[in-house]
């Protein structure tokens, strides 16, 4: 019924230019305008192997109340340290036992942070 080889995820931001700066410059991801949709502000975060996430501007954006992007890392602590160096702070949740750096250690080991618009992202170290 579905062509899952062409499925993709998306999330909204209120400001495409600021989103591009955060995801490309701060996080170091491959972010490009969607060809033919530059004026509309659509962005694509390239995840490699033909996978991407669509980021679209929404003037009345409200941040998601869940994690919109999980970035798998080999070393969560090193990733959190690098995020902190780049000015990104981890989020705290009462439901999780997080260490001083905001890392919930376990299976998986994870730390959450927000983009400039309040959308929640994470670095996640799989077991």
pLDDT in tens, 4-30: 777 889 999 999 999 999 999 999 999
Give the pLDDT of residue 35: 92
pLDDT digits (tens, 9 = 90+) for 90-122: 999 999 999 999 999 988 999 999 999 999 999
Per the structure, the count of domains in the chain is: 2
Q: What one-character DSSP code corresponds to residue 104?
A: B
> For residue 16, is it within any domain?
yes
Q: Cα(113)–Cα(80) distance, rounded to whole angstroms?
A: 9
* 109 plus 84 within the same structural domain: yes
Overall size of the chain counted in residues: 127
Burial 48-80 (b: 16+ CB within 10 A, else e): eeeebbebbbeeebebeeeebbeeebeebbebb
- What proportion of the chain, given as a percentage, has pLDDT over 90? 83
What residue numbers bound the domain in which 112 lies? Answer: 67-125
User: Which residues contact residue 68 at a Cβ distance below 8 angstroms, ignoring those fewer than 6 apart?
Assistant: 9, 11, 119, 120, 121
The CATH number that applies at residue 11 is: 3.10.180.10
Asked if the model's pLDDT at residue 80 lies above 80, the reply is yes
> For residue 81, is it within any domain?
yes
pLDDT digits (tens, 9 = 90+) for 37-55: 988 899 999 998 888 999 9
Q: Which segments of the chain does DSSP mark as H helices, in order? A: 16-20, 76-85
Asked if the model's pLDDT at residue 66 lies above 80, the reply is yes
Give the pLDDT of residue 99: 96
> For residue 62, is it within any domain?
no
């Amino acid at each position: 019924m579905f062509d899952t080889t062409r499925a993709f995820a998306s999330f909204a931001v209120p400001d495409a230019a600021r989103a591009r700066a955060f995801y490309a410059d701060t996080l170091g991801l491959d972010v490009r305008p969607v060809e033919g949709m530059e004026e509309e502000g659509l962005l694509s975060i390239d995840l490699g192997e033909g996978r991407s996430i669509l980021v679209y501007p929404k003037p009345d954006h409200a941040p998601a109340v869940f994690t919109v992007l999980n970035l798998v890392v080999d070393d969560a602590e090193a990733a959190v340290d690098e995020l902190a160096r780049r000015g990104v702070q981890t989020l705290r949740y009462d439901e999780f036992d997080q260490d001083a750096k905001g890392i919930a250690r376990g299976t998986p080991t994870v730390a959450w942070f927000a983009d400039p618009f309040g959308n929640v992202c994470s670095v996640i170290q799989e077991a």
